[in-house]
Structure 1
Amino acid sequence: MFTNEVIATFNDLEMLIYKYVMQHKEKVIYMRIRDLADEAHVSTSTIMRFCRKLNCEGFSEFKVKLKLAMDEKRDTPIKSGQHVVAEFLERTQNENFTSKLEDAADAISKANHVYFIGIGSSGTLAEYGARYFSSLGTFSTYLKDWYTPIHANLNNSITIALSVSGENQFTISHIHQLKDKNSKILSITNNGQSTIAKISDKNVSYYVSEEFFETSNITTQIPVIFILEELARRVYEKSRKSD
């Protein structure tokens, strides 16, 4: 129902509706339009525009489609991620995507130090990214404990923030702390319209279909690994040519 293409067209107010709906689906299907407007802090006309972007004539039709999508997801077995990965790899040949990678690699190559942050599975990949970059000559550090206060000035550094949803509050808090110490932020997220993407200096998004099993996000992380390794290789090539 919520395709990546449609989500990318949402403005800030529509993103508020989307986030509320995704967090309260079971409740939304029984709401009146005025109830949702109050809860999401938007107008009813904004909700109607939101519904039309989803090819719904009105809020009632939206609720029916949402209920059907929820029922279908409950009955859908976990599928192979092969087609998702294949679609992503095809998009990596897109000029816009390669341009973003090159721009990100250029920013990393100019930094004196590279930091990595992330929580959960993104934290695991952040640690992997730090090791991979360091293996190719770009000394990097994974900041595991976001509770630790940062007192040093981080001028001429860049922080690579990983988050599938781009909405993790721990990561957002960590980003604010790092930005306050003058570190540039490069985020790698699934959605370029997410909060983390918007507060970053640069963002690389991969747009694959999110998958959930019960309450767990099982979205494939292969695109993140590809982006990290490709960035590290591009940074290495830049340093080799400058020697």
Structure 2
Amino acid sequence: MTELNVNAMTGLLTRIEYLLPKLKGAEKKLADFITHHHEKIIHQSITELAERSNTSESTVVRFCKKLGYKGFQDLKINLAREIIKPEQHIHEVIEPEDDVVTIKKKIFQSNIQALYDSMEICSDEELERAIEAVAFSKNVEFYGVGGSGNVAVDAQHKFLKVGIKCYAYTDVALQSMSASVLTPDDAVIGISHTGSHTDTLHALKLAKEQGAVTISITNFSKSPITKIADINLYTTSKETMFRTDATASRIAQLTIVDTLFTGVANRNYEDAYTNIQKTRDSTSNKRL
């Protein structure tokens, strides 16, 4: 994806953070300059920005469009709104004196922002490829450890409802054992916030060696898991003292899974609907 879709809820620095690993030369130099001097940019002309970042006006225009803005003026307008309304960034930080009402508001706003930001950077093309791969796989496996393991189990629960043969492995030994006997007819989804958990990486690599389609859900576009996976689905979220590791991106990960699930089910709507009814009836005796 060369350009980001414009979304007013997604800030400039979040967009740059996502694109940074893919930038080179003058564009990378410009991105670094904007990141460290973004509060001054709203008072600069395009010529001033080009001169101070040692780039060119054409580079600035091209970079603005790559970020999803119409041009430099559009970038400045949106950046000014971010600076004028700092509460959009402050809400994530929980202070010792915060009461329950404030904590509730901050957590809800933080999760909403994570969803908007993740919607922005998750490639529609990659998502389409992932849906296609899962829809036509004989078996689907989900690997995750810790907080990401909970997301893997949730994914199994959802996909089973529509008749997809799937398994969630949170035990690292079982991940590797199962991955080693997969086939090219199978697909594996590795879920890792950092994208660097060695056990998940090992299992995903084994699955890839067997010819299975490998998919990652991760927060970092330059993490080791993205080098192994055939398809990468990105989330993004800010971390604070009480929102670290997989916890910070759990909501976004779950939403990516929901999107995958719905996309796959929609491919074969009639069968999916029938299977949902069957699986629902199968547990009806467990409900009062």
TM-score by length of 2: 0.56
Q: Which aligned pairs between 1:187-206 and structure 2 lie closer than 5 A?
A: 187-206=216-235
Task: Tell me what 2:278 maps to.
Answer: none
Relative to 1, partners in 2 of residues 1:89 and 1:215: Cα closer, same or farther, differing over 3 Å?
closer
Give the aligned residue type for 2:36: N
Task: Tell me what 2:130 maps to.
Answer: 104
Please list every run of 5 or more consecutive structure 1 residues that lacks an aligned counterpart in the other structure.
Answer: 15-47, 58-74
Give the aligned residue type for 2:152: A
User: What secondary structure does 1:116 align onto?
Assistant: strand
Relative to 1, partners in 2 of residues 1:109 and 1:194: Cα closer, same or farther, differing over 3 Å?
same
Relative to 1, partners in 2 of residues 1:241 and 1:95: Cα closer, same or farther, differing over 3 Å?
farther
Task: Tell me what 2:95 maps to.
Answer: 77
Distance, in Å, in 1 between the alignment partners of 2:207 and 2:192 is: 16
Task: Tell me what 2:36 maps to.
Answer: 55
User: What secondary structure does 2:232 align onto?
Assistant: strand
Distance, in Å, in 1 between the alignment partners of 2:183 and 2:227 is: 21
Distance, in Å, in 2 between the alignment partners of 1:142 and 1:117 is: 6
Contact 1:212–1:218 (CA<8 Å) still a contact in 2? Answer: no
Aligned-pair CA distance for 1:209: 1.4
Distance, in Å, in 2 between the alignment partners of 1:236 and 1:81 is: 31
Distance, in Å, in 1 between the alignment partners of 2:124 and 2:31 is: 31
Distance, in Å, in 1 between the alignment partners of 2:265 and 2:21 is: 37
Relative to 1, partners in 2 of residues 1:118 and 1:233: Cα closer, same or farther, differing over 3 Å?
same
Contact 1:117–1:171 (CA<8 Å) still a contact in 2? Answer: yes
Which of the numbers 213, 233, 237 marks the counterpart of 1:184?
A: 213
Aligned-pair CA distance for 1:87: 2.8
Q: In the TM superposition, what whole-angstrom CA distance separates every residue of 1:84-121 from its partner, at most 9, and x where no partner exists?
A: 33234445765974443333211110111100001101
Distance, in Å, in 2 between the alignment partners of 1:205 and 1:230 is: 13
Structure with max Cα Rg: 2
Q: Which aligned pairs between 1:74-153 and structure 2 lie closer than 5 A?
A: 77=95, 80-90=106-116, 97-148=123-174, 149-150=177-178, 151-153=180-182
Distance, in Å, in 2 between the alignment partners of 1:210 and 1:8 is: 15
Query: Aligned pair count?
Result: 193
Contact 2:235–2:249 (CA<8 Å) still a contact in 1? Answer: no
Distance, in Å, in 1 between the alignment partners of 2:118 and 2:112 is: 10
User: What secondary structure does 1:210 align onto?
Assistant: coil
TM-score by length of 1: 0.65
Contact 2:189–2:214 (CA<8 Å) still a contact in 1? Answer: yes
Aligned-pair CA distance for 1:235: 0.5
Task: Tell me what 2:259 maps to.
Answer: 230
Please list every run of 5 or more consecutive structure 2 residues that lacks an aligned counterpart in the other structure.
Answer: 1-12, 38-51, 53-92, 97-102, 273-288
Contact 1:8–1:193 (CA<8 Å) still a contact in 2? Answer: no
